[in-house]
């Protein structure tokens, strides 16, 4: 069976990555691609690397255009997805790669995003521990899925096993991320110009202001945390894509290094796309570019009594498009790995 697919926001980075992965999917057929200012142009005029989709032309993003497809992926700015999905019927599986349906707390939405709150959908991180089980169970048969924020899912996956097993504390978490500028979207912004970021590392959203903070706290509470405090600092570095997240948390009293490692191994030992590396090994962003993988290295800093998790993710792949497609596969009862690869691109 072939499922008809529409991708809204196809001219952006997330939309382009969705299309790249969907082009290799054995069960999905991309029939419609939409955009805003680029509507009316051939897809190849803005995504020239997608040669197998050369027959597609960008159309306007409207509910009427998207309706009637089996699966609809939305890669739109926050606030825009909610406007569109409110007008879509119930016959399609809809996956939102934006922020509009991630947060369960309307107050968090108001504090970090603002504007109309459109409600929470099933959270599209299958490997995440939620209420003692994996989130993939909540995705089976879902018709509305919120793909995660790339930074949020990277940090949440990094720490959820320790929270669930009780080997780390959920207060006084510190996460510092090196991130590629593609995570900020494709629109022209002065601080993201090559001349501004080449040869430089630039922190942003410092001091608890980043919009992914409530999403991380929400996920860790789902893993079992009573209360979450996190100092979260992203830093733009001169690589087009990728996230290297270094997260540390206090070691729970009386917990051994072996128990710490066992918590992460138990959580991810059978997973295809989230993997714990052997002891003493740590990932590079180069190892995950183009792949639907999150690779993690783990250490216990005995002197500081903290657990250190270093995670590498391609923000456009596993961080966004890959998570969306993986979740769609689960919702439809397909092979979870359909159209997705664990192999990155090197050098």
The catalytic residue positions are 150
Q: Specify the pairing of strand 58-60 against strand 122-123.
A: unpaired
Q: How far apart are CA 120 and CA 321, in angstroms?
A: 19
Q: Residues 219, 123: contact at Cβ < 8 Å?
A: yes
Report residue 319 CA to chain centroid gap: 3
Q: How far apart are CA 291 and CA 273, in angstroms?
A: 9
Cβ within 8 Å of residue 76, ≥6 positions away: 8, 9, 61, 84, 96, 97, 98
Look up tokens 């002197």; give the residue.
Answer: 303
| 323 class by beta-carbon count within 10 Å (0-12 exposed, 13-18 middle, 19+ buried) | buried
* Alpha-carbon distance values, 54 to 35, 42, 49, 317, 340 (Å): 16, 8, 10, 22, 21
Q: Residues 183, 246: contact at Cβ < 8 Å?
A: no
Look up tokens 């109309």; give the residue.
Answer: 116
* Alpha-carbon distance values, 153 to 53, 108, 218, 227, 252 (Å): 29, 17, 11, 18, 23
């Amino acid at each position: 069976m072939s499922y008809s697919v529409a991708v809204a926001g196809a001219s952006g980075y997330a939309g382009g990555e969705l299309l790249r992965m969907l082009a290799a999917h054995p069960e999905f057929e991309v029939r419609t691609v939409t955009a805003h200012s680029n509507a009316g142009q051939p897809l190849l005029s803005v995504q020239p690397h997608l040669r197998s989709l050369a027959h597609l032309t960008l159309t306007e993003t409207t509910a009427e255009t998207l309706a009637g497809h089996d699966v609809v992926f939305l890669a739109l700015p926050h606030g825009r997805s909610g406007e569109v999905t409110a007008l879509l019927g119930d016959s399609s599986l809809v996956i939102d790669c934006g922020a509009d349906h991630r947060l369960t707390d309307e107050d968090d939405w108001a504090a970090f995003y603002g504007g109309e709150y459109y409600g929470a959908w099933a959270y599209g991180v299958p490997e995440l521990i939620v209420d003692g089980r994996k989130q993939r169970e909540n995705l089976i048969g879902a018709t509305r899925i919120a793909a995660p924020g790339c930074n949020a899912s990277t940090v949440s996956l990094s720490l959820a096993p320790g929270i669930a097993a009780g080997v780390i504390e959920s207060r006084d978490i510190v996460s510092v991320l090196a991130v590629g500028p593609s995570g900020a979207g494709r629109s022209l912004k002065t601080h993201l110009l090559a001349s501004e970021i080449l040869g430089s590392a630039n922190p942003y959203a410092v001091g608890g202001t980043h919009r992914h903070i409530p999403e991380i706290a929400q996920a860790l509470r789902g893993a079992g945390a009573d209360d979450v405090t996190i100092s979260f600092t992203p830093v733009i570095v001169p690589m087009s894509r990728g996230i290297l997240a270094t997260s540390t948390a206090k070691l729970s009293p009386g917990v051994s290094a072996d128990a710490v490692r066992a918590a992460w191994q138990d959580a991810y030992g059978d997973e295809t796309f989230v993997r714990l590396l052997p002891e003493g090994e740590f990932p590079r962003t180069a190892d995950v570019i183009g792949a639907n993988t999150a690779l993690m290295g783990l250490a216990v800093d005995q002197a500081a009594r903290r657990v250190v998790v270093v995670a590498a993710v391609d923000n456009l792949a596993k961080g966004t498009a890959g998570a969306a497609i993986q979740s769609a596969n689960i919702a439809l009862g397909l092979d979870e790995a359909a159209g997705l690869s664990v192999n990155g691109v090197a050098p």
